[in-house]
Amino acid sequence: MFDINKFLDDREKRVELQNSLLEKFKAPLLTVRANYPGENKWESIPIEITDIVAKEMVLLFEDKIIHSEVLENLEGKIYLFFIDIPAFEIKKNTIYFEENHILGRCVDLDVYDVDGRGLSRSDFNLPKRKCLICDDLAFICGRSMKHSHQEIKDKIASKYIAYQKYLKERERITVILSDLTLEGMIYEVSSFPGFGLVTPLTQGSHKDMDFFTFLHSSFVLKKGFKKMAKTMFSSLPLDIAFKKIREIGKTTEEEMFKATSGVNTHKGMIFLMGIAVGATARVLYEKREFKDIQNIICEMTRDILKDFENIDVSKKLTHGEKLYLENGFTGIRGEIKNGLDIIFNGSLEVFSSAFEKTKNINLSAFHTLIYLMGRVMDSTIVYRHDFSTLEQIKKEMSDIFYNGGAFNKDREYFEKLEKEYISKNISPGGSADLLAVTIYFYKVFIYFFIGDNYEKERFYSWRYYWKNIPK
C-alpha cells in the first residue's frame, strides 16, 4: 500500500538535501526524474528512461558537472547534477532537449539557480509545456484528469519503444557512413597518377609513407568517423555536437599517429571528413534533403575561422596555423567556411560526369583531382614551397582540365608530369583530401538518396538532381 506520509517525507528530505548541496557547491542544480503518473514510480520503463536521460545530461554538460548524486525513494529515481555554468544556459539546453529528444517529454528536468530559485519556460518567454497526448497545456489536462494514468503510461511506453528503434537505426546508419568514409579514402589513395601524392605505384613526394601506410591509417580513422556520426545523429544542439566531434577528431588523430608510428597520413582528412560525415549524419537524423548537407556545414562551422584568433605560438604549430600567421592564409578552413562549395558546386559534378562517361573509378578520380588542383588554395603545396608555386600549379592544372583533363592526354604525358612534380617535391595534399570527400559525398547520395534505384538511376539522377535543386 502506498504510504503518502513516507512519500511526503522523502520529498522534504530531497529538498533539504538540494538546498544544502546548493550552499556547499554554489553552483546551479539540475534534477532529472521521470514524468510518470501513479503511485509506483519504480516500474521498469520510467526507471530506464530516467537513466537514459541522465546519461544524455552527462553527455550534454560533461566536464562542467562538478558533483552528482542519485536518490532512490518513493518519488522514484532522481539524479542531481551541480553544473558550473549559468543556470539560464542550463535551462535553455534542457528546454531544447525536452522539445527535440524522443524522451524529452517523458521527464522533468528542473533547473535551480545558486539561490535555489527554479527557472521556468516563462523566463524564456515560452508557453507552458503541452500535454504528452493532446495539444492542450499539460497542467490543464493534469488538473482535469483528462487522460487516464494508463493512457499516459501507454504513451510513455510508445516513446520508449521509439527510442529503442532510434538506437538501432543510429547503429545501422553510422556503420554505413563510416564504411563510405573508408571507401572515399581508399579510392583516393588508390587512384593514379597522383602528381606527388602516394599511390599504389609510387610514394610520390613522401619519403616516410607508402600506399600501405595509408591503408592502415584509413581503417583506424574509420572508427573515429563512426563516433562522429553517432554524435551528430542525435538531438544534441548543433554547436555542442560540433564541439564534441572536434574532440573525437583529436583522439582519432592520436590513434592515427599510433598506427603510423608518428607519420602524418591523414591529419587534414580527419578534420575535413569529420565535418562531412557529421553534417551527413545530422541531415539523415532530421530526414532532410541531400542539398541540406551544405547548409548544415555552413551552420555548424560559421565560427570556424575563429580557430586562428587564439593560436598558441608557444606550441608546435600546424601547417595551416603557420601559413595563417605569416600570410593570412585560411586554407581548408576557408573552403569549409564556404560550405565546401568547391565540392557541392564543382567536383561532385566533375566526378559524376566522368564516371557516367567512363564507368572507371580511377579515371574519374584522376580527372577530378586535376579539376581540384586547378582551383584549391592547397596549404600543403604552399607549406612545401610558396604561393608562386601554388599559382603556377593551379594555372597548369586549370589549363589541362579545360582542354579535356584526363581525357585529352595520353598516359605517358601524365606520367611524365607526375615525375616532374615528384622531382620538385610537390604534393597536393589538400586537393587529395577534397577528392576523398567528393567520392564520399557521391556515394552518400547514391546510397541514401537514390536507394533501390541505384543501378537504374545512379548517373542520371545525380545530374538531374544537382542541376534542378533550388539554390
Beta strand 107-112 with 76-83 is unpaired
User: How many helices and strands (H and E) does the chain possess?
Assistant: 20, 4
Report angle CA 201, 364, 348 to the nearest 5 degrees: 130
pLDDT digits (tens, 9 = 90+) for 153-203: 999 999 999 999 999 999 999 999 999 999 999 999 999 999 999 999 999
Q: Which residue has the higher pLDDT, 423 or 309?
A: 423
Nearest to 155 by CA among 273, 49, 231: 49
Question: Are 21 and 101 within 8 A, CB to CB?
Answer: no
- Classify the C-alpha dihedral 267-272-274-275 as positive or negative: positive
Q: What are phi and psi of 199, to 5 degrees?
A: -135, 175
The CA radius of gyration of the chain, in Å to the nearest whole number, is 27
3 state DSSP class of 36: coil
Q: What percent of the chain has pLDDT over 90?
A: 75
**pLDDT digit string (tens) for 62-83?**
889 999 999 999 999 999 999 9
What's the first-to-final CA gap in the chain, in angstroms?
64
What value does the mean pLDDT take over residues 204-227?
A: 95
CA pair distance 325, 454, nearest whole angstrom: 47
- Stretch 99-104: mean pLDDT: 95
Instruction: Tell me 129's DSSP state.
Output: P
Q: Which position has the grid cell 566522368?
A: 354
Band of residue 408 on the pLDDT scale cut at 50, 70, 90: confident
User: Average pLDDT, stretch 442-470?
Assistant: 61
The grid coordinates listed for 453 are: 534505384
Query: Within 374-410, where are the H helices?
Result: 379-384, 387-402
Q: Distance (Å, rounded) from C-alpha 145 to C-alpha 135?
A: 15
| Out of 104-108, 364-368, 384-388, 442-446, least confident range | 384-388
| Crossing angle (nearest 10°) for helices 361-373 and 348-358 | 150
What tens digit of pLDDT does each residue of 278-336 get? Answer: 999 999 999 999 999 999 999 999 877 676 666 665 566 666 666 656 555 566 777 88
Q: What are the start-end ranges of the H helices in 237-318? A: 238-259, 267-285, 292-300
Q: Do the beta carbons of residue 300 and residue 279 sit within 8 Å?
A: yes
The pTM of this model reads 0.89
pLDDT for 326 equals 59
Euclidean distance between CA atoms 206 and 436, whole angstroms: 19
**Rounded CA separation 52/398 (Å):** 54
Burial class (CB in 10 A: 0-12, 13-18, 19+), 7: middle
Q: Can you tell me the distance from the alpha carbon of 398 to that of 395, in angstroms, rounded to the nearest whole number?
A: 5
pLDDT of residue 378: 86
Domain segments of the chain as ranges: 4-147, 162-468
Q: Which helix (H) or strand (E) holds 78?
A: strand 76-83
Burial annotation 165-196 (CB, 10 A radius, 16+ → b, else e): ebeeebeebbebbbebbbbbbbbbbbbbbbbb
